[in-house]
Amino acid sequence: MPEKILMKGNEVIAEAAIQAGCRFYAGYPITPQNEIPEYMSRRMEEVGGVFIQAESELAAINMVFGASAAGARAMTSSSSPGISLKQEGISYLAGAELPAVIVNMQRGGPGLGNISGSQQDYFQAVKGGGHGDYRLLVYAPNCHQELWDLTMRAFDKADEYRNPVMILGDGILGQMMEPFEPVPYSPPNLPPKDWVLDGCRGREPRVVKSLYLGEGELERHNLKLFQKYSRMKEQEVLYEAINVEDAELVIVAFGIASRVCYTAMELLREHGIKVGLFRPVTLFPFPEKEIKGLSLQGKDFLVVELNMGQMVEDVRLAVEGRTSVEFYGRAGGSMVTPEEVMEKVLSLQRPTSTRLSL
């Protein structure tokens, strides 16, 4: 195993991308993710890749479209308002089935909001933020090890599914430093990119497009895309479940909020309160079967997010009313504390006899 090193979260993403073979990066300044383009502007030159600072987020995402169509492992990054600007391009990438990695180090919103870490773009990330009917594969890392591992994985999965993949981080993860193991990238067996537009001399010309005008053509394309998303649901779900076996209440949290909830869980357990933590690592596909399973065991849920309640809707869909699903959130770039989570959990305590059970 390599020795642990200490890096800033944004730079972990950038270096992981480079090591995973990303050779095209286009970006545009926005706080709190500027370390990614800054790092890329130095590093891409060293590895013979391309760094472009675009004139806008729109330009950056469309550069990624072009580079991906030409066969490059391509990436862009931004923070919430900039990701909003990229949505048109993301929809086109999904429609044209082009692989790309899009990093969103979320900040408080809506509008200009602020530059503190937040989780207010959950809906935008997992429900298809742009127009049309599409999904991104969405990873929600909660530590620098996962920023490293999941960034590498994102490139592989983007190629495997020919689909844009989003890393949904936040300003805190991006700005903080913590040690991690820079595990070397090992490339998986991936299907050949037999769709790349790299010159058609000696072969049939290829087409990469999202325009389907023929009768029924676009619907067939949509069905094909949704078969792909179903396959993701079968094969790509990642999550972490801690202390859920004996838990009466399971806290569900992703990303940076899950780390606060972990502390709260440990403190509550010290007081003999049986609390578990369930952390979706993929937000799409969402670990709905696993949450359904926990609800079938009669466990209640508390969803904690740095927003006004977004993932809680997906938890409720999975629980289907079997047990109770409560929510606690802090929005607008405010941070939740372990004490707040504990207080909320204690307020939900009730005698076992009144618990819902199936």
Partner 1 sequence: MSTTPLRLKELSKKEDLLTGGHRMCAGCGAPIAIRQVLLAAEMPVVVANATGCLEVSTTIYPYSAWKVPWIHTAFENAAATLSGVEAMYRALKKKGKIKERIKFIAFGGDGGTYDIGFQSLSGAMERGHDIVYICYDNGAYMNTGIQRSSATPLGANTTTSPAGKVIPGKLQPRKNLTKIMAAHGIPYVAQTTPAHWRDLMTKVRKALEVDGPAFINVLSSCNRGWRTPTDRAIEDCKLAVETCFWPLYEYENGKLTINQKPKEKKPVVEFLKTQGRFKHLFSPENEHLLKKAQELVDKEWEDLLREERMWKAEEGE
User: Nearest distance from residue 178's CB to partner 1, in Å?
Assistant: 21
Q: How many residues bind partner 1 (CB under 8 A)?
A: 19
Nearer to partner 1, 30 or 137 (CB): 30
Please tell me whether residue 81 binds partner 1 under the rule CB under 8 A.
yes
Which of residues 114 and 324 has its CB atom nearest to partner 1 in the complex? 114
Sheet with 50-53, strands from edge to edge, namely 50-53, 24-27, 74-78, 100-106, 164-170, 137-139, 282-284
318's CB contacts (< 8 A; 6+ apart) are 286, 287, 288, 289, 291, 292, 295
Give the one residue of 5, 56, 190, 289 binding partner 1; rule: CB under 8 A: 56
Beta bridge mates, 53: 27
Least gap, CB of 115 to partner 1 (angstroms): 9
Smallest distance, Å, CB 174 to partner 1?
A: 13
d(CA 61, CA 88): 9
Tell me the two tokens of residue 69.
Answer: 């169509």
Q: Which of 31, 145, 222, 324 touches partner 1 (CB under 8 A)?
A: 31
Q: Which of 3, 55, 194, 204 binds partner 1 (CB under 8 A)?
A: 55
Q: Which is nearer to partner 1, 58 or 348 (CB)?
A: 58
Output the smallest distance, CB 33 to partner 1, in A. Answer: 9
| Shortest Cβ 55–partner 1 spacing (Å) | 4
Find the shortest distance in angstroms from Cβ 36 to partner 1.
10
Q: Which is nearer to partner 1, 19 or 114 (CB)?
A: 114
Which range binds partner 1 by CB under 8 A, 50-58, 200-208, 219-227, 275-283? 50-58
Tokens of 74: 């391509």
Report the DSSP pairing between strands 239-242 and 164-170.
unpaired
Whole-angstrom CA distances from 86 to 17, 169, 244 are 20, 16, 38
CA–CA gap between residue 127 and residue 229 (Å, rounded) = 12
CB of 126 to partner 1, least distance (A): 24
Which one of the spans 51-59, 131-139, 192-200, 253-261 is the region binding partner 1 (CB under 8 A)? 51-59
Q: Does 112 bind partner 1 (CB under 8 A)?
A: yes
Interactions with partner 1, residue window 57-76 (CB under 8 A): 57
Q: Distance between CA atoms of 182 and 179, rounded to whole angstroms?
A: 9
34 binds partner 1 (CB under 8 A): yes
Beta carbon nearer to partner 1, 41 or 324: 41
From candidates 45, 219, 320, 339, binder to partner 1 by CB under 8 A = 45
Tell me the closest approach of the beta carbon of residue 9 to partner 1, in angstroms. 16
51 part of the interface to partner 1, by CB under 8 A: yes
Rounded to the nearest 10 degrees, the angle between the axes of helix 144-161 and helix 217-235 is 140
Task: Find the shortest distance in angstroms from Cβ 105 to partner 1.
Answer: 13
Amino acid letter, residue 196:
V
Query: Rounded to whole angstroms, how far apart are CA atoms 2 and 180?
Result: 9
What DSSP string runs through 143-178?
Answer: SHHHHHHHHHHHHHHHHHHTSEEEEEEEHHHHH-EE
Three-point CA angle 4, 74, 182, nearest 5°? 5
Give residue 111's identity as a one-letter amino acid code: G
Interaction of residue 29 with partner 1, rule CB under 8 A: yes
CB of 85 to partner 1, least distance (A): 8
* 31 vs 297 by CB, closer to partner 1: 31
Q: Provide the 8-state DSSP code for 107.
A: B
Amino acid 207 reads V
Residues that bind partner 1 (CB under 8 A): 28-31, 34, 37-38, 41-42, 45, 51, 53, 55-57, 81, 85, 111-112
